[in-house]
Amino acid sequence: MKTSLAAVPYFWTQQAYQDFYHQVAETDIDTVYLGETVCSKRRSMTLQDWIDAGIFLQGKGKQVVLSTMTLLEAESELSYLKKVVQQKEFLVEANDMSAIQVANQAGKHFVSGNAINIYNNQSLSLFHKLGMTRWNIPVELGQQDLKPVIPKAQELGVELEYQVYGRMPLAYSARCFTARHHDLPKDRCQFKCKDDVEGIPVKTREGDSFAQINGIQTQSGKVSNLLNHWQKLYAAGIDYARIVPVAPDTTLQVIKSLTQATANNQPLVDFTDDSREYCNGYWFQMAGLEMIA
């Protein structure tokens, strides 16, 4: 089974990104996604910075994919999207339909991000015709949901990618929840999300984990964790086990543990972190916040 690292969903400094990816380069991860997927105001890394990071990672034997924004709200964002899609160095992860349209018009293949609504064989076939070569499966689809779809993907030659670690992306909004949390207007947010290395936790009145605020993105409060079920995913037909970054140190530990397990065909991944709450219910056709050992 191959492993992949999703684009960092949080807003870090340029130095933090560079330090992180220099360490990622020394791991055995197969594929690394790069780029800003949440908010266009996060500009600590330019497109050229991302391309330079990709060239460096590629030189270390990684497949590099450039990820696009998930929610576009301005002409300037569409212009940036076109530059990402039309660059010639790397494959692109298309996270909204405009990216798919631009890629199709340019005759380029793409990875479909998990924000793209593909739930059946008809949609799968349509997106394959448009140029999709890999499908990053929406987190809410479980093993039974995928049983009729996986054979079709294999018939079409579409690779399948499923999230095994990280907070789940639940929703995107034109409103910035981080700015709202700090009582600031969105256009004068003071880049407050840079203060939170992995977002702001939201609890219920009873004190239970509910969600994670990440700018305009809402994530799951609990961290999705299917690490110890990677062999079941592989047996089901999943090609890539996808890690969504949290804090840098923890993410690097997860990469090391998972790649070691897959390389040695170990059923259990040697990773523990009691500082976070976990869930994986969706894969087992249960409520997403449930955790199956």
Angle, CA 41 vertex, CA 127 and CA 89 arms, to 5°: 50
Bridge partners (DSSP) listed for residue 279: 224
189 marked ligand binding residue: yes
Regarding beta strands 217-225 and 159-172, do their DSSP bridges make them parallel or antiparallel, or are they unpaired? antiparallel
Question: Could you identify the residue written with the tokens 């497949």?
Answer: 63
What is the Cα–Cα distance from 182 to 198, expressed in whole angstroms? 16
Answer yes or no: are the C-beta atoms of 5 and 26 closer than 8 Å.
no
Residue from 112, 40, 48 nearest 83 by CA = 48
DSSP-derived secondary structure letter, 287 = -
3-state secondary structure of 111: strand
279 marked ligand binding residue: no
Answer yes or no: are the C-beta atoms of 137 and 117 closer than 8 Å.
no
What distances in angstroms separate CA 208 from CA 91, 160, 201, 202, one per listed residue? 40, 33, 10, 9
Tokens of 114: 């998990």
Answer yes or no: are the C-beta atoms of 186 and 175 closer than 8 Å.
yes
State the Cα torsion 93-95-99-104 to the nearest 10°: 60
Question: Could you identify the residue written with the tokens 């990773």?
Answer: 271
Which residues belong to the annotated binding site for [4Fe-4S] cluster? 39, 176, 189, 193
Which residues belong to the annotated binding site? 39, 176, 189, 193
